[in-house]
Amino acid sequence: MLTITSIKNGIVIDHIRAGLGIRMFYQLGLDKADYSVALIMNAASTRLGRKDIIKIENNVDFDVTMLALIDPNVTINVIEDEHIVRKVKPELPDRVEDVIKCKNPRCVTSVEKYVPHVFTLVNRELGQYRCQYCDEIYTVGKD
Amino acid sequence: MLKGRHLLDPTDFSPGELDEIFDFADQIIQSPAQYNHLCDSSILATLFYEPSTRTRFSFEAAMLRLGGNVVGFSEPTSSSVAKGESVADTIRTVACYADIIVMRHPKEGAPRIASQYSPVPVINAGDGGHLHPTQTLTDLLTIRFVKHQLTGLTIGCCGDLKFGRTVHSLIKAASRYLGNRFVLISPKELRVPDYVTADLAAKGIAYQEVERLDDVIGNLDILYMTRVQKERFFNEDDYVRLKDVYILNAEKMRLARKDMIVMHPLPRVGEISYDIDDDPRAYYFKQAKFGMYARMALIAKLLGVS
């Protein structure tokens, strides 16, 4: 069994769907962190079967909505003195700009580089966003 | 109030506003000569970043028949676009000269960018495989003229439904009218994009996706045929394999209702046999004329001169 020590002060991002942890890790810029960080992949989970976990030994301030766009089902635990003092469930924002990149090769954003990639939420339950320009659907956690 | 507005998406205007355009188009159809000087001294700019004959001619004829003038380009190689100018800069410049701008662009969403930088109305004349709202105005005007209603219709769309922007626009617009149902007839490879069916499902509108035209043609009020467009394919093999899959001919027309009408945005490349051109149910050439009247009404309304 892999053992990773608990953290004293910082953040634990739990219940990440297996495979998405590494994307979140890079999205948060943790590859450049100068404090202790652990990315645990494929940990056993009663709810998910397998899950990823990120532990950050630092009270970093980051954009929670960014995490929701990768996996809206994560739990963010804020740790102080080795205890969970707050749990945060990220909410999908109604509109995002330059966070999701449109993958449609025919979308105008692929050639007009000054144009921001704007997506609006069209179905919260399914986590579906729509490109403002070409209507391409982006599904959170799948695309 | 339609003056000064853009038309980028067929649902930019409410059904009531569309009726306003159609009512005015009906007046023009009744006595076209009465409107010969409606747009005297106004200039329409046609920015066609990809080839088009019908749509460009239709817009230019519409403006000329209203007494206005036309400037523009019919291919990007003969314009500043070839030097790498952005859509935003082109529009800001053209808007200094023209009172209204029509844009066709191979990239989806380009007219929306244009509208964000334009102080004058921008009309989307087709953006990639996405939308073609003035074709939709044409289609709805034709249906209204023939069927005397835009509600309670079973509309069949056949052919290339994946890249056929006219179909996407028509479904989007016609789904706003009560009781319309859609039958989407195409090979699996050319089904409508997910966002189209997601929209229909979200609105609780009845639709079915089928592969054989023969099985459903007898249920339709409208059969909207489309061509399989070579320029939308990424490879030649897929195009050759799928281009002749759905051909409407006299034999299939025998299975259709006496009051079904056949529509097509044109040009056709074999998906409608010439042997049905004289069938009274074939409306595709009349539809082209309705298109010019629809565009005349639209231009006049956006310029606020009707």
Asked if B147 contacts B174 with a C-beta cutoff of 8 angstroms, the reply is no
State which amino acid sits at residue B84.
Answer: G
CA distance B291 to B76: 25
Whether A5 is in a domain gets the answer: no
Closest-CA distance, B286 to chain A, in angstroms, reads 31
CA distance B99 to B43: 5
Same domain, A14 and A68: yes
- The answer as to CATH 3.40.50.1370 being correct for domain B133-288 is yes
Same domain, A15 and A83: yes
Nearest to A133 among B86, B109, B198 (CB): B109
Same domain, A118 and A83: no
Contacts of B78-86 spanning 24+ positions with Cβ under 8 A:
B79/B47, B81/B49, B86/A112, B86/A114
State which amino acid sits at residue B119.
Answer: P
Sign of the CA dihedral running B136, B108, A131, A114: negative
Q: What is the pLDDT of residue A47?
A: 83
B88·A114 Cβ contact <8 A: yes
Question: pLDDT tens digits for chain B (306 residues)?
Answer: 999 999 999 999 999 999 999 999 999 999 999 999 999 999 999 999 998 889 999 999 999 999 999 999 998 776 777 778 999 999 999 999 999 999 999 999 999 999 999 999 999 999 998 999 999 999 999 999 999 999 999 999 999 899 888 999 899 999 999 999 999 999 888 899 988 998 899 899 999 999 889 999 999 999 999 987 776 666 788 777 766 668 899 999 999 999 999 999 998 888 999 999 999 999 999 999 999 999 999 999 999 998
Size of interface A-B (CB pairs under 8 A): 56
Q: What is the pTM of this model?
A: 0.84
CA distance A119 to A140: 12
Same domain, A48 and A115: no
* CATH classification of the domain holding A38: 3.30.70.140
Same domain, A48 and A100: no
Task: Kindly report, residue by residue over A25-68, the tens digit of the pLDDT.
Answer: 998 899 999 999 999 999 998 888 999 999 999 888 877 888 88
* Residue range of the domain that includes A107: 95-139
Structure tokens belonging to residue A40: 């645990």
Task: Kindly report, residue by residue over A117-126, the tens digit of the pLDDT.
Answer: 999 999 888 8
* CATH classification of the domain holding A134: 2.30.30.20
Whether A43 is in a domain gets the answer: yes
Residue A51 CA: distances (Å) to CA of A14, A39, A42, A56, A73: 8, 11, 5, 17, 11
CATH architecture of B15-131+291-303: 3-Layer(aba) Sandwich (3.40)
Nearest to B194 among A107, A110, A137 (CB): A137
Q: In chain B, which residues fall in CATH 3.40.50.1370?
A: 15-131+291-303, 133-288
Domain count within chain A: 2
Nearest to B113 among A112, A123, A131 (CB): A112
Same domain, A115 and A45: no
Same domain, A28 and A73: yes
Cα within 13 Å of Cα(B102), Cβ side: 31
Same domain, A58 and A99: no
